[in-house]
Amino acid sequence: MRRTLLVAFSLDEAARGVAIEALGGAAELVCLADLAPPQRGAALSAATVVLVRDLKPFSADEFALLGNVRLVQCITAGVDYLPLSQLPANVPVAANGGGYAEPMAEHALAMVLAAVKRIVLEHAALARGEFRQHIENRMLAGSVCGIFGFGSIGIATARIMRNMGLRVHGINRSGTGHPLLEWIGTPDQLDMLLAAADVMVISAPLTRSTTRLFGARELALMKSDAILVNLARGEIIDEAALFAHLQATPTFTACIDAWWIEPIRHGAFHMDHPFMSLPNVIASPHNSATVPGSRPAALRRAIENCKRALVGEPVQYVVSDEHRMR
């Protein structure tokens, strides 16, 4: 039987070339956007694997046609905002776990360096005409970097932090060790990680169990001069609790790349508390993965996972029932 990879979004010529090269002849590439309406049903029914950016291209009737596919592969690393419950329950779904890992790790390092070297604070002081040369900044080397969510992004972050001289502690669901880690724990050991970390990086998916996991109690366990970096989803941190903690602990820094209400997931940008008024906040517009070449790299990695399903090899980053939140 002919194997097909059905791509549910448009591919330009360059992206099509990347996809075909990554497939390596394992299947025929079919792009849903190239098909006339009468051809869609047959293509969906015949698909072996489906690659999606979101689920908007499919009608309610078309979801039922995907019941026999081996995998629905998402191009994005985060899948919490996709209505995965509309897919047939028997169909595995995979996130693109390593798709954007390296640029996100660099972004985490940049934010942490800006915090420990007081770049934002002293830039603002210079703009006011204040030359505060004798206010000390900090060294990163020798500090502990905690990583909550030790998948591909966590591994890339650990590698770059180790190269800066930090000792890295991590948490993943299995507690499986890694050569980059000095200590590894499971989610029930989060308190230990929080207490040890000088830098705390969140790179875990948003699930029922991680929603508002970082609340007032957890923030209070952290060092008063710790740096908290959120690359994942805003909802993992209790927004009100973080704002209150930042107000009460001026030596604590929050580096926020992932926000609670964002345009792509929610249709708008909004915050319930004025984080940008606080001097101990370093912010970016969830652009940690937005670098030249990131989209072709992510496409290649997603199709490599598709290829595993096509040839009968174990698939990576399969979304669990807990992760299929919506």
Domains of the chain: 4-98+293-311 (3.40.50.720), 101-283 (3.40.50.720)
Residues 301-316: what's their mean pLDDT?
Answer: 95
Neighbour order of strands in the sheet with 167-171 = 183-185, 167-171, 144-148, 199-202, 227-230, 253-256, 281-283
Residue-wise pLDDT tens digits, 37-70: 899 999 999 999 999 999 998 998 999 999 999 9
pLDDT band at 13 (very low <50, low <70, confident <90, very high): very high
Q: How far apart are CA 145 and CA 142, in angstroms?
A: 9
At 113-167, the pLDDT tens digits run 999 999 999 999 999 999 999 999 999 999 999 999 998 999 999 999 999 999 9
pLDDT tens for residues 215-247? 999 999 999 999 999 999 999 999 999 999 999
1 has pLDDT over 80? no
Q: What are the residues facing 169 on neighbouring strands?
A: 146, 183
Would you say residue 78 has pLDDT above 90? no
Q: Which tokens hold the place of 221? A: 């366990």
Amino acid 175: pLDDT: 86
CB proximity list for 130: less than 8 A, separation 6 or greater: none
Q: Tell me the pTM.
A: 0.90
pLDDT at 272 over 80: yes
Among candidate residues 274, 262, 148, the one with its CA nearest the CA of residue 205 = 148
Q: What is the pLDDT of residue 107?
A: 98
Rounded to an integer, what is the distance from CA 15 to the centroid of its chain? 22
Q: What is the pLDDT of residue 324?
A: 60
